[in-house]
Amino acid sequence: MASEKPQDLVVTCTAPVNIAVIKYWGKRDEALILPINSSLSVTLHQDQLKTITTAAISKDFTEDRIWLNGHEEDVGQPRLQACLREIRRLARKRRSAGDGDALPLSLSYKVHVASENNFPTAAGLASSAAGYACLAYTLARVYGVEGDLSEVARRGSGSACRSLYGGFVEWQMGEQADGKDSIARQIAPEWHWPQLRVLILVVSAEKKQMGSTVGMQTSVETSTLLKFRAESVVPERMKEMTRCIRERDFQAFAQLTMKDSNQFHATCLDTFPPISYLNDTSRRIIQLVHRFNTHHGQTKVAYTFDAGPNAVIFTLDDTVAEFVAAVRHSFPPATNGDKFLKGLPVTPVLLSDELKAALAMEPSPGAIQYIIATQVGPGPQVLDNSHAHLLGPDGLPQQDP
């Protein structure tokens, strides 16, 4: 794992995206990033969506530096600094306690970090969650920090703590003022529900107009519906969603997922001035899902939307092909027909005339840019292959040959 010089260290890790089925929206403490309600998410497979991060420390580095998707960023960003400070504090604490091997490196060494996503950043696809989970996990490996990293990842992006685990993950809001009990925990592993499939319908890969942080602050200040949701609705939904997952009750899981997504977006509209993350295509997708389910006489497909227009669809493996065909019928690919579907292979099927009639939708060519087909996946991974490092021996980003 170490580079040529024994006093230096370089580590590369990957971390997944998570999609909340019971949403987090609103903080009770901005500095510590403590939520006003608990949340529950599904970790997506890293074969399709992941962040990869390399961290290197060396006595030769003169300052901390970070590169995101090939561009150097300001290392002084408060959330980035919060993660770094917390990791270094934990490393010092561990060193002074004399736990483990005394690492042959100084905590005063500067760190270089390079991070890349294999999916659009800041488009409402939970890139910050994967990014900060990966940062926390990688820095912990470099500095020899062990134990739960919820607090470190959470300082970067609240939902990042849920990306520290695979499968199905609960982020407990906690009650303590210091946030020590606001942590993530796995409620079921990634192999628990093998039939579950996830489709991401990318409506727009552009950066969203209002970031989640500002949106949440405004909602907390102005939405009475948000307060009611956090106090009176979410606690019961957390229990029910946990039951649905443990019992693999897809119908109940799907309906609750859609209702919670709708309520989250209702709190955004109840914010003053109102926030709208959904666009016309998002609303047409919602219509498509309900008409598809009505045609089948049961809930076979569910949608959820985070703070952006892209839809995340949950369904079971025996329904994927037909629903993808329904999406192609309603939102025909513009010109990239061969690249419209990415990720897991899906066998093309023909739609029945009855279903086409039931959908009753005027086609919107090009409204959906592409679909990513994926499934539930594991938590962060360490890559042992030195060829995977994003930083070269000089501590600078590797140039593509």
- The tens digit of pLDDT for each residue in 170-199 reads 999 999 999 999 999 999 999 999 999 999
Half-sphere exposure of 61 (CA within 13 A, CB side): 26
Shortest CA distance to 125 belongs to which of 328, 366, 347, 342?
342
pLDDT at 339: 86
Q: Is pLDDT larger for residue 354 or for residue 120?
A: 354
Whether the predicted pLDDT of 362 surpasses 50: yes
In DSSP terms, 359 is beta-bridged to: none
CATH 3.30.70.890 intervals, the chain: 196-375
What residues have CB less than 8 Å from 114, skipping those under 6 apart? Answer: 53, 54, 66, 67, 390, 391, 397
DSSP 251-319: HHHHHHHHHHHHHHHHHHHHSSS------HHHHHHHHHHHHHHHHHTS--EEEEE-SSS-EEEEEETTT
Shortest CA distance to 264 belongs to which of 1, 33, 39?
39
| Joined tokens for residue 223 | 């939405």
Angle at 22 between CA 243 and CA 170, to 5 degrees: 65
What residues have CB less than 8 Å from 132, skipping those under 6 apart? Answer: 79, 83, 153, 155, 156, 157, 160, 163
pLDDT at 34: 97
Shortest CA distance to 379 belongs to which of 136, 15, 67?
15
pLDDT at 123: 54
pLDDT at 8: 73
Q: What percent of the chain has pLDDT over 70?
A: 92
> How would you classify the pairing of strands 196-202 and 50-58?
unpaired
CA separation for the pair 251, 31 (Å, rounded):
39
pLDDT (average), residues 2-30: 85
Whether the predicted pLDDT of 335 surpasses 90: no
Which of 24-28, 60-64, 126-130 shows the lowest per-residue confidence on average (mean pLDDT)? 126-130
Confidence of residue 97 (pLDDT cuts 50, 70, 90): confident
pLDDT at 139: 96
Whether the predicted pLDDT of 129 surpasses 70: yes
Whether the predicted pLDDT of 124 surpasses 80: no
pLDDT at 211: 80
Q: Is pLDDT larger for residue 103 or for residue 114?
A: 114
Confidence of residue 221 (pLDDT cuts 50, 70, 90): very high
Q: Which CATH architecture has domain 9-189+379-388?
A: 2-Layer Sandwich (3.30)
Angle at 208 between CA 206 and CA 214, to 5 degrees: 160
- DSSP H stretches of helix in 43-111: 78-97
pLDDT at 235: 98
Residue range 222-266, pLDDT digits in tens: 999 999 999 999 999 999 999 999 999 999 999 999 999 999 999
CATH 3.30.230.10 intervals, the chain: 9-189+379-388
pLDDT at 103: 55
pLDDT at 5: 47
pLDDT at 400: 63
Q: CATH number for 196-375: choose from 3.10.20.740, 3.30.70.890, 3.40.50.1980, 3.90.1300.10.
A: 3.30.70.890
Residue range 203-216, pLDDT digits in tens: 976 666 778 889 99
Q: How far is the CA of 126 from the CAs of 16, 71, 122, 340, in angstroms?
A: 9, 20, 7, 21
In DSSP terms, 331 is beta-bridged to: none
Q: What percent of the chain has pLDDT over 90?
A: 84
pLDDT (average), residues 283-289: 98
Name the one residue in this structure whose structure tokens are 């409620």.
187
Whether the predicted pLDDT of 4 surpasses 90: no
Which of 43-57, 155-169, 329-343 shows the lowest per-residue confidence on average (mean pLDDT)? 329-343
What residues have CB less than 8 Å from 173, skipping those under 6 apart? Answer: 28, 34, 35, 36, 37, 38, 39, 182
Whether the predicted pLDDT of 3 surpasses 50: no
Amino acid type, 181: D
